Amino acid sequence: MPNKRLSVGLFVVAGALVLAACDGSAAPDARQDAAGLDPAKCADPNFASAHTDFCVDNASVPETPAAEAATLSNGLKVRIISAKSETVDSNGYDSGPTASVLVTIATEITNTGNATFVFPTATSNVRAELLYGRNHAKATYSAIQKGGSTDLPEQLVAGGSVTITSTFTMRAGGADNVVFRFNPDNTTTDDITFTNVQTLYK
């Protein structure tokens, strides 16, 4: 005949183990597993579907060498046609006393699609951002710049091209790792990240 006390004792122990597993005490292990995931595995569709949130948070941004062109999903081809850097009198720019380098980048946008592209009415939807140095400090969009998103027309017909000029001020130093992020309409497509822009300086 089974021992009732032993059976009850085993039942209580089993119940305690189930409660311990459900009360969040196992959460640290789950978090540790998530922290140990490899973002490179997100290229595998099976892994990505099983770890959707992780892969979205760790999505890699494609990079384009500064000397090459990039084509967006909407058919716009973007390339840097010139870049220059010069030392300036920082008092002439609203960027603080340590910003003494002026970087000017001319970007050409060509509509390679079959339909007219309409640029966003909100100029803030056009991204032009310069990062530099080991930690990718953000350069200041020059307060006295000429051009920028105001260079863009309302629309660009198929086969047409337009040039936009972006001017930034940044601190001296850290100019060996310059990245330019650009997007004609960041509400519809991902940014283009041009790397090693300093190799184009003239």
pLDDT digits (tens, 9 = 90+) for 30-84: 333 455 777 667 767 677 778 777 665 555 557 999 999 999 989 999 999 999 9
Confidence of residue 96 (pLDDT cuts 50, 70, 90): low
Rounded CA-CA distance 183/191 in Å is: 5
- Residues with Cβ < 8 Å from 146, sequence gap 6 or more? 165, 167
Domain holding 12, by residue range, is 4-57
- CATH number of the domain within which 102 lies: 2.60.40.1240
Confidence of residue 135 (pLDDT cuts 50, 70, 90): confident
Q: How many helices (H) and strands (E) does the chain have?
A: 4, 12
Rounded CA-CA distance 154/107 in Å is: 17
Q: What is the pLDDT of residue 107?
A: 94
| Position with higher pLDDT, 9 vs 183 | 183
Question: How many structural domains are present in the chain?
Answer: 2
User: Residue 173 above 60 pLDDT?
Assistant: yes
93 and 168 share a domain? yes
Confidence of residue 23 (pLDDT cuts 50, 70, 90): very low
pTM beyond cutoff 0.75: no
47 and 124 share a domain? no
26 and 88 share a domain? no
Q: What is the pLDDT of residue 5?
A: 54
Cα 82 from chain centroid? 22
181 and 113 share a domain? yes
- CB atoms < 10 A from the CB of 69, how many? 16
Q: What is the pLDDT of residue 58?
A: 55
- Choosing from 42, 57, 72, the residue where a domain stops is 57
What mean pLDDT comes out for the span 15-19?
44
Looking at every residue in the chain, the average pLDDT score rounds to: 76
What mean pLDDT comes out for the span 176-201?
92
16 and 84 share a domain? no
76 and 174 share a domain? yes
- Choosing from 36, 57, 78, the residue where a domain stops is 57
Confidence of residue 122 (pLDDT cuts 50, 70, 90): confident
135 and 94 share a domain? yes
126 and 171 share a domain? yes
49 and 72 share a domain? no
